[in-house]
Amino acid sequence: MAKLSDKSLVIVESPAKAKTLSKFLGSDFVILPSYGHIVDLPQKNLGVDIEDGFKPTYVVLKEKQKVMSEIKKQAKDKQKIYLATDPDREGEAIGWHIKNKLLEEKVSKAKAKNKKTIKPKKAGEDKQFLRVEFHEITKSAVEEAFKHPRDIDINLIEAQQGRRILDRIVGYLLSPLLWKKIARGLSAGRVQSVALRLVAEREREITAFKPQEYWDIEAEFKKVDVLFAAKLDKADDKKIDITNKEDAERLAEEIKGKVFIVSEIKETEKRRNALAPFITSTLQQEAFNKLGFNANKTMSLAQALYEGIDFPEGPLGLITYMRTDSPKVAQSAISEVRGFIDKQFGKDYLPDTPNYYKPKKSAQEAHEAIRPTSVLRSPKDVEQFLDEDLVRLYELIWKRFVASQMKPAVYLQTSIDIKGGRFTFRVSGSRMLFAGYAALYFIDDESNQTKVIPDLTKGDKLDLTNIMPSQHFTKAPPRFSDASLVMTLEENGIGRPSTYAPTLQTLIYRDYVRRISGYFHPTELGMKVVDLLVAYFANVINVEFTARIEESLDEVEEGKINYSQILKDFYTPFKADLDFAQENIKKEVIYTDQVCSLCGKPMVIKWGRGGKFLSCSAFPECKFAKSITTGIKCSQDNCTGELVERRGRRGRFFYGCTNYPKCTFTSNKLPVLLQQQ
């Protein structure tokens, strides 16, 4: 067994990852988790010297002091320190900061010991800092990474610093304006504010939407004993557009007397290619659409699958790294999945050559898609070791990956025109000829046969058995879900894989939006924040501008430009907007018809972390305040209180009684019976 001094220190980000790595690395390594970022910009001041080229000041976070102390203690007698944090910008930065803090420790001790005559030993001279990067936590991947360590990638560090400093400048300098105008404790952010603007603008589209009436006419036809329906498509060979009941009924009467024959049959063979294996954004979208998981839940489950699940033989990572924007797949994984498809489905389902998927321009090519670490571990093989949600997400990832290397699905698409006088009805449908990837993974509502179409021949005479006009109204655009908002952010170049889930979570935590039945509704507070930011900082929360900033920061990662130039170009116009806003923003005061029960002054509406409340307009001389109630009586027996919306410690909203703590009644929803009284 190796002596403690002979061991190497390995830094990872989480205890789960540390536990899994310990299985592969053995007793020659001491593995410590950092629990995320240990070092960051200070919480109580800007921490950025704007005049000195946007130079940052970093500190050990207060809540991470003990973690850093333990790392220093363990590093003291170790010659090799492996930085095995996650394979992305944030992981690179965590390792870099820890390395720098350990070097600072060496510098200070060397100087203290050799004050006078002896030149201090160069800090870290007796230690090796080695960066190891792996995209899956399996024995082979980890061992390979430790055989080929590298230096810290300074371009990744520069890109991460640029983003962090830019986000700090925006958040730190914008937030006080929200405090001045609306309420203390609010925050603005470079990406979150753009996302909020998208949600708010969609809500206004919905509010302003005016439904337009339209009518369809469907006819029921019969051939022998087979009934089927077709929709009116054309009149006089022109597309039909029916906007009112009178026209629909008039046309229906005219149609009744016609003789109908099959005028045209078109059959087209369509091929539908498999989708690429998941990247972060598509995983979040599909997990919402197929499993009902929000983005935050999806990423939390994916992280558990990546970092390691306990099996009888020890912990093992089941999927590759879950924050990625590249659909690239390792050649070894392609070989394995092709062998699996050949064995399980047969050669008919296996393409002659592997399917390759083109990454978008900004994708990090070093990353892989999200896939199983081994396709041979099927969902059935692992389900006994996972809870239900982990199984469902793993199965989704597994099926999507296997399907991505299968042949296209082939459909026969049929379109039949039925003519009677000046009217043409059309019925369309498709029939699956070859399942291909769809034998394993359906896209949307894909099925073997989308609509039953009778066996018809051109010239067949059909009996009209029924005519059915139906009224419809155009629908407003839908509110954003986790899936559609992530897709919109990605399509517009807003944020990157690591930011989608935390951005949505921040909007909910700040009560700028609420997720109701899976869809985002902006709150009154959220709309106020957006209106202020658009009025004074339209460029900062502009979709195109934010996308250009992201592209520039990607160029920093590629080593093409320096982040300080981006910050300089951004800060000059931003500072002008900031100065104008500080001079012109006035505190909004909303008076009510209620008066203070202590001093008789008018009550005003204010905002706090728990939402709106009533406060005396004479504040701070008079500190009287009270909740704004729903007007619905408490349902507790013999209670005279009313229900008021409250916010719990974890950000959850509920309804409680105004007589709390005497009455402890709570409800997640307003009682329906009480609402009707």
pLDDT band (50, 70, 90) for residue 512: very high
Q: Is the predicted pLDDT of residue 5 greater than 60, yes or no?
A: no
What confidence tier does 257 reach under pLDDT thresholds 50, 70, 90?
confident
| Pairing of the two strands 625-627 and 238-239 | unpaired
> In angstroms, how far is the first alpha carbon of the chain from the final one?
76
Does position 331 have pLDDT exceeding 80, yes or no?
A: yes
Tens of pLDDT, residues 25-42: 988 999 999 999 999 999
Q: Of residues 268 and 104, which shows the higher confidence score?
A: 268
Report the chain's mean pLDDT, rounded to a whole number.
Answer: 90
119 has pLDDT over 60: no
Residue the block writes with tokens 């986790």: 482
Distance of CA 486 to the CA centre of its chain: 5
Task: Please answer whether residues 11 and 71 qualify as being in contact, where contact means their C-beta atoms are separated by less than 8 angstroms.
Answer: yes
d(CA 334, CA 406): 11
How far from 11 is each of 6, 70, 123, 306, CA to CA, in Å? Answer: 16, 11, 19, 17
Distances (CA, A) of 218 to 227, 247, 359: 13, 14, 44
Q: What's the pLDDT tens digit per position in 342-365? A: 999 999 999 999 999 998 776 655
Cβ–Cβ < 8 Å for 164, 498: no
For the segment 34-62, the average pLDDT, to the nearest whole number, is: 95
Lowest mean pLDDT, pick from 197-211, 262-276, 446-460: 446-460
Instruction: Tell me the C-alpha distance between 363 and 471, whole Å.
Output: 47
Residue 116 has pLDDT above 90, yes or no: no
Alpha-carbon distance 272 to 227, whole Å?
30
Tokens of 230: 């077709």
Which structure tokens are listed for 203? Answer: 């809500």
pTM above 0.75, yes or no: yes
Give the pLDDT confidence of 299-319 residue by residue, as tens digits.
Answer: 999 999 999 999 988 889 999
Amino acid at 339: G
Q: How confident is the model at residue 672 (pLDDT cuts 50, 70, 90)?
A: low
Does the pLDDT value for residue 238 go beyond 70? yes
Give me the pLDDT at residue 112, please.
55
Q: Which domains does the chain show, CATH number per domain?
A: 4-152 (3.40.50.140), 160-209+478-584 (1.10.460.10), 213-273+409-473 (2.70.20.10), 280-404 (1.10.290.10), 590-676 (no CATH)
Candidate from 143-157, 463-477, 599-613 with smallest mean pLDDT: 599-613
E-assigned strand segments in 17-137: 29-33, 39-40, 48-49, 55-56, 59-60, 80-83, 128-131
Instruction: Label residue 619 exposed, middle or buried (CB < 10 Å: 0-12, 13-18, 19+).
Output: middle
| Residues labelled as active-site residues | 321
What's the pLDDT band for 454 if we cut at 50, 70, 90? confident
Name the least confident of 66-75, 238-247, 298-307, 541-550: 541-550
Mean local confidence (pLDDT), 653-673: 83
**Residue count (the chain):** 677
Report DSSP letters for 479-507, one per residue: PPBHHHHHHHHHHTT-S-TTTHHHHHHHH
CA distance 211 to 213: 7
pLDDT over 90 at 107, yes or no: no
